[in-house]
Chain A
Amino acid sequence: MLRRAGPSLCHFLLERNSGAGRSSCSREAKMSRPVQARRLEGIDKNIWVEFVKLAATYSKVNLGQGFPDFPAPDFLTEALSRALGGGNHMLHQYTRAFGHPPLVKVLAQFFEKLLGRDLDPMTNVMVTVGAYQALFCCFQALVDEGDEVIIIEPFFDCYEPMVKMAGGTPVFVPLRPNPPKDGKLMSSADWQLDAAELASKFSERTKAIVLNSPNNPLGKVFSRGELGLIAELCVKHDVLCISDEVYEWLVYDGKQHIRIASLEGMWERTVIIGSAGKTFSATGWKVGWVVGPDRLLKHLRTVHQNSVYHCATIAQEAVAQGFQRELMLYGKPESYFVQLPKELQQKRDWLVQSLDGVGMKPIIPEGTYFLVADISQFKSDVPDVPDSDEPYDYRFTKWMVKNKGLAAIPLSAFYSEAHKNNYTNFIRFCFAKEEATLKAANDILQKWKQEKTSS
């Protein structure tokens, strides 16, 4: 049996003896095993820790991490102020563990409309600390050691370590780019799954597939046909679907976000994940939710009650009021769910123009507030280093933030270790930014281009 690598407690005591006074490591102590649990193996690295620090240190214009730099809507912050000013100091105390009643009730009402089925707020909805914790509950509740989980690349980076922490085996299947023949800019729709390749990934050990639509980082909005393909395989192999739909309201060009849970045979095997942070441009509130059948959610409840137990009351109260407003205004022009995508589409188009204008080739996203650009025609400043242990796009983005003050995220960050070198000429920008920010980004890019052409 292999001894695990890593420092043991005893080892550290001996190293730190200087601070402790007397020697505290007894020779009788039999334990000299590593202090950390095995479930942490291979999941300690995290792209955000590194890139957030870089952006904080060097960036003048941050289009890296995905959060808006424009304010959360007034009606949401006013709801928080009202809750605070209302004199009900019990809003500062614990609420119902599985979700503040006003919030789960309005979420049930909302999703009843969207899914066309009756929902019980107490059993078909649970509130979590952001969509992140919803994902965690899914994997911990449903993925056992030896289970396989299919992850579509490129993927929001936490899926892989979460599957591993649950003892599962991630199985990757890529979206492959099929560039248009007419030389026009690619759309996220041009990145597609190969049906046969996808089918080959399902085995008798497959427990679940993680779907993220609209997709971060590409912005792809899976079509009904594409979802149908996935659904068919899920039903055929009796596999669960963890459906990360945090960008559900951010779809452009009149496209429609289709919920896989509404497809035949899917409700009973799907957990839908949503986020107030993305829905209401308030990522720092960390309010998320799951919607699904009780027979799956009951296991998520068990994980939740044994990990965080409650979510912050007052944030849930304010989000509930935000949803009440949207319920009343649903489909109307004043609805935030109508206005926000409209605004973001303009910003998307602006950034697309900006990048295209300097020779970076943007892939036009159908949804989300991310955009991936092909930098292969723009890379002269950062030479290829054949034996570098870092993919090209990591080096490019690090150079760019340090030398140009513009922060973006390398696309390889959204690929598994084995596939990190498949797409190294792409970087991801976030365009949920004020006009001034996008203009400043354009200025940097224009100046950079001029420097390149004049040299």
Chain B
Amino acid sequence: TMPFRHKNTRRIEGLDSNVWVEFTKVAADPSIVNLGQGLPDISPPSYVKEELAKVAAVDRLNQYTRGFGHPSLVKALSQVYEKVCGRKIDPLTDILVTVGAYGSLFSTIQALIEEGDEVIIIEPFYDCYEPMVKMAGAKPVFIPLRFKNDGNSASSADWVLDPVELANKFNSKTKAIILNTPHNPIGKVFTREELQVIADLCIKHDTLCISDEVYEWLVYKGNKHIKIATLPGMWERTVTIGSAGKTYSVTGWKLGWSIGPEYLIKHLQVVHQNTLYTCPTPLQEALAQAFWIDYRRMDDPDCYFYSLSRELESKRDRMAQLLREAGLKPVIPDGGYFMIVDVSTLNVDLSDVDEKQPYDYKFVKWMIASKKLSAIPLSAFCGPETKKEFEKYIRFCFIKKDSTLDAAEVILKNWNKQTG
């Protein structure tokens, strides 16, 4: 018999491993307090669940809907975002509904990025940006956020880009920069001034901006989420990505959207019609109904977009307190539902662990095994050059119900009492 000649295509060479596949397996044990993967264990709001239950009874909603997005959903999205952006958004041409924000990232990158292009990625980054850029045949160009702090209690705002360093990353091959604000994993909410630096470079070099804003509603007191697409000269070069999973705490619904000018979105639509064609109808209808409910109260503090953020702020503060009590120095996030912490201060010696993995990978595995607490190693979120800088950090997710945080509290309070 001939040797089997069918291997993977070039486009996916080296893209088979994935931090989530590795760590969700390790943390699947129910006795482990899971603050790793970013999924809520709190319930979605009841009206969201009710809308889906109502939809289940409507026959025609079990069949195909419009490919680029269910009409009532794109209408609702256009209304919500018109209000936020202060500009007209055409539901049929300026919006694409995708399978999660993940699907939007994929559609955008496949539509607009190719071999010969460079794409600037800010480290640390949500891990899929790099493989998606590579799968499109392009070259990722990394630039790290750097910690600039005078020794005060660390905040995500202390992690900043060096404008000169950033400017040097742009050249004639730069097709796009991927922006993530509020930022995963650090929780940074880019300020208007910081966004303007990026915008100026995009305009000067005529590049696109792929703006991942899935945590757009999760900003804490004293901070404001600003959409880079609303800065002058940016609407026409920006694709803004959002997520139902993060907006409504329904990560398992896997609905997201891309919003931007028709001349960019039409290419994403071509990718979509050649990859999965339509997204599930019943989930889109239920999401549309949920959006109408919150659209009507967007000027009201009870709107879920704001109430979730308030709920999470107290969880954030509690998480920070628990980590401090264990002798750690958390970086307080201004947005999102993740918190990073430098664990090198604990001086856990893992040099005898015979693996070529970075320190944080080893630390998290050790922590899962000996403390029954899971997190995600930060070096999963950076390029090869900066692994040494980020390998002392781990990321905790705090969109967790009280009993989960209670269990984490027990572990963290007893941390120093147990021998490693």
Residues of A bordering B, CB below 8 Å: 7, 9-10, 12-13, 16, 19-22, 24-26, 28-32, 35-40, 43-44, 46, 48-49, 52, 65, 67-72, 77, 80-81, 84-85, 89-97, 129-130, 132-133, 136, 140-145, 158, 161-162, 165-166, 207, 238, 240, 268-269, 281-286, 295-296, 298-299, 301-303, 305-315
In the complex the two chains form, what is the Cα distance from A308 to B261 in whole Å?
23
Instruction: State the Cβ distance, B375 to closest chain A Cβ, in Å.
Output: 17
Partner of B12, one of A25, A95, A283, A299: A299
Instruction: State the Cβ distance, A430 to closest chain B Cβ, in Å.
Output: 12
Q: Across the interface, do B113 and A49 meet the contact criterion of CB distance under 8 Å? A: no
A315 contact set on B, CB distance < 8 A: 280, 282-283
A240 contact set on B, CB distance < 8 A: 6
In the complex the two chains form, what is the Cα distance from A25 to B205 in whole Å?
9
In the complex the two chains form, what is the Cα distance from A280 to B177 in whole Å?
43
For the complex of A and B, 7 pairs with smallest distance between CB atoms: A284-B281, A313-B252, A24-B233, A29-B206, A30-B172, A37-B114, A89-B43
Q: Across the interface, do A238 and B275 meet the contact criterion of CB distance under 8 Å? A: no
Q: 1/0 per residue B275-290: CB within 8 Å of A?
A: 1111111110000000
In the complex the two chains form, what is the Cα distance from A296 to B39 in whole Å?
30
Question: Which among A161, A284, A308 has the highest number of chain B CB atoms within 10 Å?
Answer: A284
B20 contact set on A, CB distance < 8 A: 97
Contacts A165-B274, A284-B282, A306-B128 hold; do A140 and B12 have CB atoms under 8 A apart?
Answer: yes
Contacts A97-B20, A129-B279, A306-B128 hold; do A10 and B206 have CB atoms under 8 A apart?
Answer: yes
Q: Across the interface, do A84 and B236 meet the contact criterion of CB distance under 8 Å? A: no
Partner of A46, one of B18, B52, B273: B273
Contacts A133-B275, A307-B275 hold; do A91 and B252 have CB atoms under 8 A apart?
Answer: yes
Q: Across the interface, do B12 and A29 meet the contact criterion of CB distance under 8 Å? A: no
23 contacts between A and B (CB under 8 A): A13-B206, A31-B172, A37-B110, A39-B114, A52-B66, A84-B52, A92-B253, A93-B39, A94-B245, A132-B277, A165-B274, A283-B64, A286-B279, A299-B8, A301-B16, A302-B8, A303-B12, A305-B21, A306-B135, A308-B99, A309-B128, A310-B102, A313-B252
The answer, yes or no, to whether B164 is at the interface (CB within 8 Å) is no
Q: Across the interface, do B64 and A65 meet the contact criterion of CB distance under 8 Å? A: yes
In the complex the two chains form, what is the Cα distance from A144 to B12 in whole Å?
10
In the complex the two chains form, what is the Cα distance from A85 to B114 in whole Å?
46
Partner of B132, one of A97, A143, A306: A306
Contacts A93-B40, A144-B10 hold; do A77 and B62 have CB atoms under 8 A apart?
Answer: yes
B16 contact set on A, CB distance < 8 A: 298, 301-302
Q: Across the interface, do A312 and B254 meet the contact criterion of CB distance under 8 Å? A: yes
Contacts A93-B252, A284-B61, A306-B135 hold; do A141 and B99 have CB atoms under 8 A apart?
Answer: no
Q: Across the interface, do A26 and B232 meet the contact criterion of CB distance under 8 Å? A: no
Q: Across the interface, do B112 and A133 meet the contact criterion of CB distance under 8 Å? A: no
Q: Across the interface, do A35 and B267 meet the contact criterion of CB distance under 8 Å? A: yes
Q: Across the interface, do A85 and B53 meet the contact criterion of CB distance under 8 Å? A: yes
Q: Across the interface, do B114 and A28 meet the contact criterion of CB distance under 8 Å? A: no
Q: Across the interface, do B206 and A25 meet the contact criterion of CB distance under 8 Å? A: yes
B49 contact set on A, CB distance < 8 A: 84, 89, 92
Partner of B206, one of A26, A284, A307: A26
In the complex the two chains form, what is the Cα distance from A165 to B271 in whole Å?
9
The answer, yes or no, to whether B5 is at the interface (CB within 8 Å) is yes
In the complex the two chains form, what is the Cα distance from A52 to B63 in whole Å?
13
Instruction: State the Cβ distance, B280 to closest chain A Cβ, in Å.
Output: 5
Q: 1/0 per residue B107-144: CB within 8 Å of A?
A: 00011111000000000000010011001100000000
The answer, yes or no, to whether B103 is at the interface (CB within 8 Å) is yes
Within 8 A of A (CB), among B187-207: 203-207
Q: Across the interface, do A72 and B9 meet the contact criterion of CB distance under 8 Å? A: no
A32 contact set on B, CB distance < 8 A: 206
B250 contact set on A, CB distance < 8 A: 92-93
Within 8 A of A (CB), among B212-270: 232-233, 235-237, 245, 249-254, 261, 263-264, 267, 270
Closest B residue to A82 using CB positions:
B56
In the complex the two chains form, what is the Cα distance from A223 to B334 in whole Å?
64
Q: Across the interface, do A72 and B59 meet the contact criterion of CB distance under 8 Å? A: yes
The answer, yes or no, to whether B358 is at the interface (CB within 8 Å) is no
The answer, yes or no, to whether B404 is at the interface (CB within 8 Å) is no
Contacts A46-B273, A93-B251, A314-B252 hold; do A71 and B59 have CB atoms under 8 A apart?
Answer: yes
In the complex the two chains form, what is the Cα distance from A144 to B8 in whole Å?
9
Contacts A12-B263, A77-B62, A286-B279 hold; do A309 and B253 have CB atoms under 8 A apart?
Answer: no
Contacts A21-B233, A94-B39 hold; do A306 and B106 have CB atoms under 8 A apart?
Answer: yes
Closest B residue to A160 using CB positions:
B274
B383 contact set on A, CB distance < 8 A: none
In the complex the two chains form, what is the Cα distance from A140 to B66 in whole Å?
25
Question: Which among B43, B63, B172 has the highest number of chain A CB atoms within 10 Å?
Answer: B63
B9 contact set on A, CB distance < 8 A: 140-144, 166, 299
Contacts A77-B62, A284-B280 hold; do A308 and B106 have CB atoms under 8 A apart?
Answer: yes
The answer, yes or no, to whether B83 is at the interface (CB within 8 Å) is no
The answer, yes or no, to whether B37 is at the interface (CB within 8 Å) is yes
Partner of B4, one of A65, A281, A295, A311: A295
Given contacts A9-B208, A144-B11, A308-B99, 16 further A-B contacts (CB under 8 A): A26-B203, A32-B206, A35-B267, A52-B66, A69-B63, A84-B52, A85-B53, A92-B49, A92-B252, A136-B274, A142-B8, A268-B4, A284-B61, A284-B64, A312-B253, A314-B253
Contacts A31-B172, A44-B270, A97-B21 hold; do A141 and B12 have CB atoms under 8 A apart?
Answer: yes
Q: Across the interface, do A307 and B103 meet the contact criterion of CB distance under 8 Å? A: yes
Instruction: State the Cβ distance, B145 to closest chain A Cβ, in Å.
Output: 24
Instruction: State the Cβ distance, A134 to closest chain B Cβ, in Å.
Output: 9
Closest A residue to B233 using CB positions:
A24
Q: Across the interface, do A22 and B61 meet the contact criterion of CB distance under 8 Å? A: no
Instruction: State the Cβ distance, A355 to closest chain B Cβ, in Å.
Output: 24
Question: Which among B67, B175, B263 has the highest number of chain A CB atoms within 10 Å?
Answer: B263
A52 contact set on B, CB distance < 8 A: 66-67
Contacts A26-B204, A95-B252, A312-B280 hold; do A306 and B15 have CB atoms under 8 A apart?
Answer: yes
The answer, yes or no, to whether B65 is at the interface (CB within 8 Å) is yes
A282 contact set on B, CB distance < 8 A: 62-63
Instruction: State the Cβ distance, A180 to closest chain B Cβ, in Å.
Output: 35
Contacts A92-B253, A97-B20 hold; do A48 and B67 have CB atoms under 8 A apart?
Answer: yes
In the complex the two chains form, what is the Cα distance from A81 to B103 in whole Å?
27
A132 contact set on B, CB distance < 8 A: 275-277
In the complex the two chains form, what is the Cα distance from A207 to B8 in whole Å?
12
Q: Across the interface, do A71 and B62 meet the contact criterion of CB distance under 8 Å? A: yes
Instruction: State the Cβ distance, A8 to closest chain B Cβ, in Å.
Output: 8
